[in-house]
């Protein structure tokens, strides 16, 4: 196995030169992607309608093609879902990534072309390993198995001949046979539809494997590991996975989970953590330097053309999007993508900040719809994650989940924020926890601080500490167990918070 480890590591490193090239020539790399997409899409119905054959520049493209949400783009996608060909992309679409719904709460169906699968998703999967090997030259990653917690596949409700499902399930279903040698559990377990059965079989199967790595959403990683720990009576995961080396995480911020993984689940300085940005719509960024927490290199040669909407443009009917050479550090941008699966100027819903220019590194700061700004406080998920991590550290508690929503002003009461927080154990001093949360929010968000001055618009946060398993109950009730599903952290309305409060009793 050590020889296999060395050989695979050698071939992984051959990709580093290409990564260095787009790091050194990012604008040129994105220009190549842009022109390639336009050329491949010009004879589709979408391309013909928007005059792709006459588009010579990014400026032409931005003038001809509008920025769209899922709802606005759905008439095109529905035709693809029903099996029509050459609508938004020339090659046949045989897979759809199914993700959580948007404002109307339905599921989103995102096309996955062969090009997207191979040039974006598989390349991203290989590159995260490549960059890990670059960071950890003495890795033994390929001497054991990697565990992944996948979603499942379902029939496409618009076309029974085409399947839809979580993007991780699509990737697993299409992996080459040799890849099964390095992963666990077997596909027949990984793709089980019923979450409870999947977790039961994964617990039985994976505890006996030489697991060296885990890939997935931190939430579900915690659930699986704690379930195995309980089943075998272990104090931490290294008791049954002694060679565990790295957790590849994504989909949600790792900040609230970091101390739990490092101090409880894998209490060893030799275990590494590496972040990637792999959404239903594609693979976008990878942490290229393990010393730079919460910073990921934007991957510029995956067949994805990136644009960025400044915050002041988010709600405009015809927003002005920026390209890479126009962005600035530490500003919130909504991500807009055009892809080799036939998404054109699609507003994905995530917000990012640039932490570095040349090379272009980003951090995910939140969602365009997941924030609280009822009182002008502009509270983003990034702020909440940081403040909660500080409160948990000072109170010596472990965060499981959280969500927050506004308390609206009334004739006889001021407004505020109401939080539901699930911890591994309740804090000894709940009032101190709440004060620390509030203080840290005021330190990192000047708009929040201004509204909190003398309780002018916002009162002290109202915090509920709910029983363990409350958020899991909500996910189960809403058929969102597993895969990339997660509870929205922040909301401008109270529906979600009140649903979880009811479950908490």
Same domain, 253 and 392: no
Domain-terminating residue out of 286, 313, 341: 286
301 within domain boundaries: no
- Three-state SS at 48: helix
pLDDT at 409: 74
105 within domain boundaries: no
Same domain, 239 and 387: no
Same domain, 380 and 491: yes
Same domain, 132 and 261: yes
pLDDT in tens, 258-278: 888 999 999 999 999 999 999
411 within domain boundaries: yes
8 Å CB contact between 451 and 373: no
8 within domain boundaries: no
CATH number at residue 468: 3.30.300
Sign of dihedral through CA atoms 429, 430, 435, 441?
positive
8 Å CB contact between 172 and 145: no
Looking at the structure of the chain, the number of domains it has is 2
257 within domain boundaries: yes
pLDDT at 172: 82
The verdict on whether omega for the bond into residue 359 sits within 30 degrees of 0, i.e. cis, is yes
State phi, psi for 265 to the nearest 5 degrees. -80, -45
281 within domain boundaries: yes
Domain-terminating residue out of 269, 286, 303: 286
Q: Number of helices (H) and strands (E), helices first, in the chain?
A: 18, 20
d(CA 24, CA 31): 14
d(CA 40, CA 53): 10
Same domain, 265 and 161: yes
pLDDT at 155: 79
Residue ranges, the chain, pLDDT below 70: 1-11, 100-106, 410-412, 482-485
Range of the domain at 282: 116-286
Same domain, 153 and 272: yes
pLDDT at 53: 96
80 within domain boundaries: no
Same domain, 281 and 379: no
Domain-terminating residue out of 254, 286, 318: 286
- Residue 456: exposed, middle, or buried by beta-carbon count in 10 A (0-12, 13-18, 19+)? exposed
pLDDT at 377: 86
pLDDT in tens, 246-262: 999 987 778 878 888 99
pLDDT at 101: 46
pLDDT at 1: 47
């Amino acid at each position: 196995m050590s020889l296999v480890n060395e050989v695979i590591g050698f071939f992984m490193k051959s990709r580093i030169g290409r990564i260095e090239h787009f790091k050194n020539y990012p604008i040129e790399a994105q220009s190549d992607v842009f022109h390639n997409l336009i050329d491949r899409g010009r004879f589709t119905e979408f391309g013909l309608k928007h005059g792709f054959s006459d588009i010579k520049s990014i400026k032409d493209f931005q003038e001809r093609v509008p920025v769209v949400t899922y709802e606005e783009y759905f008439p095109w996608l529905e035709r693809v879902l029903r099996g029509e060909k050459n609508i938004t992309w020339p090659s046949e679409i045989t897979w759809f990534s199914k993700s959580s719904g948007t404002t109307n709460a339905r599921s989103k169906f995102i096309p996955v072309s062969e090009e997207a699968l191979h040039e974006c998703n598989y390349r991203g999967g290989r590159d995260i390993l490549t960059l890990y090997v670059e960071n950890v030259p003495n890795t033994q990653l390929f001497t054991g198995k990697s565990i992944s917690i996948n979603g499942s596949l379902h029939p496409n409700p618009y076309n029974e001949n085409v399947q839809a499902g979580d993007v991780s399930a699509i990737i697993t279903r299409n992996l080459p046979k040799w890849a099964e040698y390095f992963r666990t559990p077997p596909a027949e377990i990984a793709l089980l539809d019923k979450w409870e059965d999947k977790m039961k079989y994964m617990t039985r199967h994976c505890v006996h494997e030489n697991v060296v790595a885990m890939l997935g959403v931190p939430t579900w990683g915690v659930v699986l590991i704690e379930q195995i720990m309980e089943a075998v009576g272990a104090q931490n995961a290294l008791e049954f996975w002694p060679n565990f080396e790295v957790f590849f995480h994504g989909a949600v911020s790792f900040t609230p989970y970091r101390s739990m993984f490092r101090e409880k689940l894998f209490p060893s300085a030799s275990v590494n953590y590496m972040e990637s940005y792999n959404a239903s719509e594609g693979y976008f960024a990878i942490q290229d330097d393990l010393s730079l927490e919460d910073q990921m290199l934007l991957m510029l040669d995956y067949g994805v053309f990136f644009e960025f909407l400044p915050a002041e443009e988010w709600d405009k009917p015809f927003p002005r999007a920026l390209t890479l050479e126009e962005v600035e550090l530490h500003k919130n941008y909504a991500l807009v993508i055009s892809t080799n699966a036939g998404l054109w100027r699609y507003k994905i819903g995530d917000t990012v900040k640039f932490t570095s220019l040349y090379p272009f590194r980003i951090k995910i700061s939140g969602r365009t719809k997941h924030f609280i700004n009822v009182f002008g406080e502009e509270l983003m998920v990034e702020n909440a994650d940081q403040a909660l991590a500080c409160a948990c550290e000072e109170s010596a508690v472990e965060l499981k989940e959280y969500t927050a929503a506004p308390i609206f002003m009334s004739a006889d009461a001021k407004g505020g924020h109401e939080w539901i927080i699930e911890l591994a154990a309740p804090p000894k001093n709940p009032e101190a926890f709440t004060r620390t949360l509030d203080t840290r929010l005021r330190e990192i968000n000047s708009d929040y601080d201004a509204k909190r001055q003398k309780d002018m618009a916002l009162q002290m946060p109202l915090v509920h500490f709910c029983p363990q398993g409350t958020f899991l109950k909500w996910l189960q009730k809403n058929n969102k167990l597993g895969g990339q599903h997660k509870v929205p952290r922040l909301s401008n309305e109270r529906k979600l918070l009140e649903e979880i409060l009811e479950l908490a009793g």
